[in-house]
């Protein structure tokens, strides 16, 4: 019998099952990060009522806490409140810079979810996806800065979109850091001014 007539092994089912597992891995990993980071960030935040008592470790702890807060996917976390509280005890400018850098680093979790989870949907053939890709390449940097500056619950979605569109990682982090630093400087100075007003009053 000719080898051409011999049916090939049926591996389609196995490949399909494996591809489904691979597609779910990024989402599962992101959920794991959220499950670990959220309670840890909340715990550290509760200990951060007076950052000055941590001495030289106050700023590194602030960086790590903001990174954990921002690493959660679609889960509200007290990042802005923490920056405002830290600004009452630490230098507001450095609070804004350190918190912004930590938060921008934590936001990479959403970016990586979009980057490695892109295969989960056939986006390459979508006209809307190609349109979003062109718009993002043109206006993405400015959009990231603006949305990172404005407190909103949709920034995780923007990070996932940036990763799915293969937007350069360095540009995403820089734009996110710029917006976050501006935001946290604003709130840390607001906290500092409020504390001064309360002491004077």
Give the 3-state secondary structure of residue 76. Answer: coil
Flag whether pLDDT at 94 surpasses 70. yes
Residues 6+ apart with CB under 8 A from 84: 187, 188, 190, 191, 194
CA atoms within 13 A on the CB side of 81: 10
Helix ranges, the chain (H): 12-47, 58-71, 79-86, 92-106, 108-116, 127-149, 155-164, 169-200
Could you read off the pLDDT of 7-35 as tens digits, one per residue? 444 444 445 665 555 555 555 655 666 55
Distances (CA, A) of 45 to 34, 91, 147: 16, 18, 24
- Give the gyration radius of the chain's Cα atoms: 22
Task: For residues 38 and 25, give the distance between their C-alpha atoms in angstroms, rounded to a whole number.
Answer: 20
Task: For residues 99 and 101, give the distance between their C-alpha atoms in angstroms, rounded to a whole number.
Answer: 6
Alpha-carbon torsion, ordered 73, 172, 157, 186, to 10 deg: 80
Flag whether pLDDT at 197 surpasses 50. yes
Could you read off the pLDDT of 137-182 as tens digits, one per residue? 788 899 999 999 998 777 888 888 888 888 899 999 999 999 999 9
- pLDDT value of residue 31: 60
Task: For residues 201 and 183, give the distance between their C-alpha atoms in angstroms, rounded to a whole number.
Answer: 27
Flag whether pLDDT at 189 surpasses 90. yes
Q: What percent of the chain has pLDDT over 90?
A: 27
Flag whether pLDDT at 3 surpasses 50. no
Task: Please report which confidence band the pLDDT of residue 39 belongs to, taking 50, 70 and 90 as the band edges.
Answer: low
- Judge residue 196's burial from the number of C-beta atoms within 10 Å of its C-beta, 0-12 exposed, 13-18 middle, 19 or more buried: exposed
Mean per-residue pLDDT of the chain? 77
């Amino acid at each position: 019998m000719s080898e051409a007539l011999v049916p090939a092994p049926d591996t389609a089912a196995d490949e399909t099952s494996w591809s489904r597992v691979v597609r779910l891995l990024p989402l599962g990993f992101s959920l794991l990060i959220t499950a670990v980071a959220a309670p840890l960030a909340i715990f550290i935040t509760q200990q951060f009522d007076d950052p000055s008592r941590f001495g030289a470790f106050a700023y590194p702890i602030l960086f790590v806490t903001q990174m954990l807060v921002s690493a959660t996917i679609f889960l509200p976390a007290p990042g802005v409140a923490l920056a405002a509280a830290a600004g009452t005890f630490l230098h507001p400018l450095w609070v804004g810079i350190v918190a912004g850098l930590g938060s921008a680093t934590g936001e990479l979790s959403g970016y990586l979810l979009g980057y490695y989870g892109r295969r989960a949907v056939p986006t390459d053939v979508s006209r809307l996806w190609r349109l979003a890709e062109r718009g993002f390449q043109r206006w993405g940097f400015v959009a990231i800065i603006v949305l990172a500056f404005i407190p909103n619950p949709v920034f995780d979605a923007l990070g996932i979109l940036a990763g799915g569109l293969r937007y350069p990682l360095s540009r995403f982090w820089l734009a996110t850091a710029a917006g976050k630093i501006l935001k946290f400087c604003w709130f840390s100075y607001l906290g500092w001014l409020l504390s001064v007003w309360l002491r004077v009053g």
